Amino acid sequence: MAHILIVEARFYDHLNDMLLAGARAAIEAAGHSHETVTVPGALEVPGAIALAADTDRYDAFVALGVVIRGETYHFEIVSNESARGIMALTLDGLAIGNGILTTENEAQAIARADPAQLDKGAGAAQAALAMLALRERLA
């Protein structure tokens, strides 16, 4: 049984609740345990994963959050840099499922976060578990 850390950028509570529900259900359905930590925003997610990875308590990680385009360039910075940070950690060998949604509006975010619709929280958890299985197979 693997122990998974869910790192959530809790900026939009109602959207994160849906992402978390999907991720937790997928991890539990696969027979694994999980913990959740919360960070202020998507930019902090890679740092939290890096800190947690140093503890050797977790086998894989699920990154969750929502970034909705606003009127400024901030959307691009947050979207690109959070993804870049997560990618750098995966290239270092961590099993991470990236469930940070980057959408144009709240309706798109709801459709992707809702477990009854696209269920991207579950998809991120399943990706983390798939990468964990691949890492173990290749070890």
* Annotated binding-site members for (2S)-2-hydroxy-3-oxobutyl phosphate: 71-72, 112
Helix (H, G, I), strand (E, B) or coil at 14: helix
Contact status, residue 1 vs residue 99, Cβ threshold 8 Å: no
Residues that constitute the known binding site:
11, 42-44, 66-68, 71-72, 98, 112
Residues that constitute the known binding site for 5-amino-6-(D-ribitylamino)uracil:
11, 42-44, 66-68, 98
- The rounded distance, in Å, linking the Cα atoms of 95 and 92 is 9
- Which is catalytic among the residues 3, 14, 32, 74? 74
Can 74 be counted among the known catalytic residues? Answer: yes
Helix (H, G, I), strand (E, B) or coil at 66: strand
- The rounded distance, in Å, linking the Cα atoms of 67 and 109 is 9
Active-site residue numbers? 74
